[in-house]
Amino acid sequence: MQQPQHLREHYRHFQSITTRWHDNDLYGHVNNVTYYSYFDTAVNSYLIETGGLDIHHGEIVGFVVSSSCDYFASIAFPERIEIGLRVGNLGNSSVQYELAVFKEGEEQACAAGRFVHVFVDRASNRPTAIPQALRAALQTLQLP
């Protein structure tokens, strides 16, 4: 089975992360569930810094409703990685992020994943339209 191509050039935004001592498992590499925390960090950092999402007091919050990840090569502590981010699908109240984990400076991803946020009204927990400022930030992550 040939590894799919997940190349750096296919992503619009990058979040640098340094692996941590406790990220490694007994096998000496970053445990698979830790990749999801990297994805969450990359997405939420972008939403806060670029989209203006107020995670503490804003009227909307993003709930993860679906996620997956495929692994191609291991990473470990200590290592600098970069999480590539792009938007695969942007709906009225939901967005599908496509992410990839790159060792610093490498072109081919070590892992690639996706997750879906549904934005909901904080008070009612009901889906709500993505606010315009946040939508504009997400649109810049879409590939042509």
pLDDT band at 144 (very low <50, low <70, confident <90, very high): confident
How far apart are alpha carbons 94 and 58 in whole angstroms? 17
Residue 75's CATH number: 3.10.129.10
Q: pLDDT at residue 95 above 60?
A: yes
Structure confidence at residue 4 (pLDDT): 65
How far apart are alpha carbons 108 and 82 in whole angstroms? 11
Reported pTM? 0.93
In a domain, 50, yes or no: yes
Phi, psi of 134 (to 5 degrees): -70, -40
What tens digit of pLDDT does each residue of 50-59 get?
Answer: 999 999 999 9
What's the domain range around 111? 8-139
The total number of structural domains in the chain stands at 1
Structure confidence at residue 2 (pLDDT): 58
Average pLDDT taken over every residue of the chain: 95
pLDDT band at 80 (very low <50, low <70, confident <90, very high): very high
In a domain, 55, yes or no: yes
In a domain, 144, yes or no: no
